[in-house]
């Protein structure tokens, strides 16, 4: 669907993107995560020609974006919807007219527009708001209108530019559920950029981590969180203070083990004691992943790690950053 190879992008002397390679397949929910200023938005804009690029290749639905003329770009954009952090709706049009606008731009017949707008407002759950002024809507409702507008032209790809960053946590979840739903129902490929780890965990099947214009990590979201790269660890900082003595081990539970009582079993099997430093269960898309940090005595370290290896658990030792051992 989208293939980027060796992409470089500069603004004057400033190198914004360096040697970007990624591949988005049909039906993916592809997350691009990173701090502000990491080049996420620029990368997204390269996909639909809102930004140009000097080096490398950006192929969207088989077409090299740079080689398209004005008309080609317009047709490409017709096939790629986009939603925005601040919704970017027209304040002087009501909900209905905002959703209808892309179709008016493309001179679609009036009766077809009417049918499609009603259908879309139904899909995003706002059928009763169609004559409401945009200014009277809540943030979540505005983003729903934004999604309806982005889907108006039946795009094959949906680009999300920090689409939930201006929303509260609960609204964020409801918008993400809607996106997930659309992805499943319509088979729409979604590329989303965000600085919120929660967003990635909740709906993305693949993720790249962008750090200062360079891809610092990429792959299946689940695998990335089970064995995080140093760059990802920096982004998801641990909030635990560690016990200074002994060794701290972070255990990670993939989906088939998460429900088992592995920890208590280890204690009885090995006949040792350890303290629990902290832990968390998290939802990744449709299932639960968890991690737990335990502290074992130095002399027990070997047998514990052997045990973990035999039980196919992911683990790593962690250090207290404030008090390195």
Closest among 178, 107, 113 to 141, alpha carbons compared: 178
Assigned token pair, 47: 């996909």
Binding status of residue 50 toward other proteins by CB under 8 A: yes
Q: Do the Cβ atoms of 270 and 303 come closer than 8 Å? A: yes
Residue 285's contacts (CB-CB under 8 Å, 6 or more residues apart) are 180, 201, 202, 203, 204, 205, 221, 222
Q: Is 36 an interacting residue with respect to other proteins (CB under 8 A)?
A: no
Distance CA 139, CA 170 (A): 12
Q: How many residues bind other proteins (CB under 8 A)?
A: 30
Specify the residue, 4 or 159, whose C-beta has the smaller distance to other proteins.
159
Q: Can you tell me which of 13, 36, 69, 91 binds other proteins, judged by CB under 8 A? A: 91
The residue from 25, 52, 55, 106 that contacts other proteins (CB under 8 A) is: 106
Q: Which is nearer to other proteins, 97 or 285 (CB)?
A: 97
User: Which residue lies nearer to other proteins by CB, 30 or 87?
Assistant: 87
> Which residue from 17, 29, 38, 82 is in contact with other proteins, where contact means CB under 8 A?
82
48 binds other proteins (CB under 8 A): yes
* Per CB under 8 A, 149 contacts other proteins: yes
Identified binder of other proteins from the candidate list 20, 38, 53, 84, rule CB under 8 A:
84
| By the rule CB under 8 A, 78 interacts with other proteins | yes
Q: Where are the beta strands (DSSP E) in the chain?
A: 2-11, 14-24, 29-33, 55-60, 63-64, 80-83, 157-161, 189-194, 206-211, 214-220, 247-253, 275-284, 287-296, 314-318
Joined together, the tokens standing for residue 240 give 């635990």
Q: Is 89 in the site for other proteins (CB under 8 A)?
A: yes
């Amino acid at each position: 669907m989208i293939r980027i190879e060796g992409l470089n992008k500069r603004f004057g002397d400033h190198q914004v993107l360096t040697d970007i390679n990624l591949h988005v397949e049909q039906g993916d929910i592809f997350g691009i995560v990173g701090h502000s200023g990491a080049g996420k938005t620029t990368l997204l804009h390269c996909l639909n020609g809102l930004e140009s690029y000097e080096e490398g290749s950006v192929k969207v639905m088989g077409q090299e974006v740079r080689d398209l003329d004005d008309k080609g770009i317009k047709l490409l954009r017709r096939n790629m919807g986009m939603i925005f952090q601040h919704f970017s709706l027209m304040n002087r049009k009501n909900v209905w007219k905002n959703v209808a606008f892309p179709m008016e731009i493309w001179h679609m017949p009036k009766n077809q527009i009417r049918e499609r707008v009603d259908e879309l407002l139904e899909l995003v759950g706002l059928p009763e708001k169609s004559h409401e002024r945009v200014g009277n809507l809540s943030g979540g409702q505005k983003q729903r209108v934004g999604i309806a507008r982005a889907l108006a032209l039946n795009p094959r790809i949906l680009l999300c530019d920090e689409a939930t960053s201006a929303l509260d946590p609960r609204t964020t979840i409801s918008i993400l559920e809607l996106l997930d739903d659309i992805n499943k129902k319509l088979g729409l490929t979604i590329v989303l950029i965000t600085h919120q780890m929660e967003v990635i965990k909740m709906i993305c099947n693949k993720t790249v981590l962008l750090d200062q214009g360079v891809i610092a990590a990429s792959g299946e979201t689940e695998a990335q969180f089970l064995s995080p790269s140093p760059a990802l660890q920096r982004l998801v900082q641990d909030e635990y203070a560690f016990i200074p003595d002994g060794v701290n081990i972070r255990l990670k539970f993939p989906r088939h083990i998460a429900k088992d009582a592995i920890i208590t079993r280890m204690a009885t099997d090995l006949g040792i004691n350890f303290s629990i430093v902290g832990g968390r269960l998290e939802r990744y898309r449709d299932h639960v992943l968890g991690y737990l940090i335990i502290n074992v005595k130095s002399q027990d370290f070997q047998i514990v790690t052997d045990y973990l290896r035999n039980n196919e658990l992911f683990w790593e030792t962690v250090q207290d950053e404030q008090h390195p051992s």
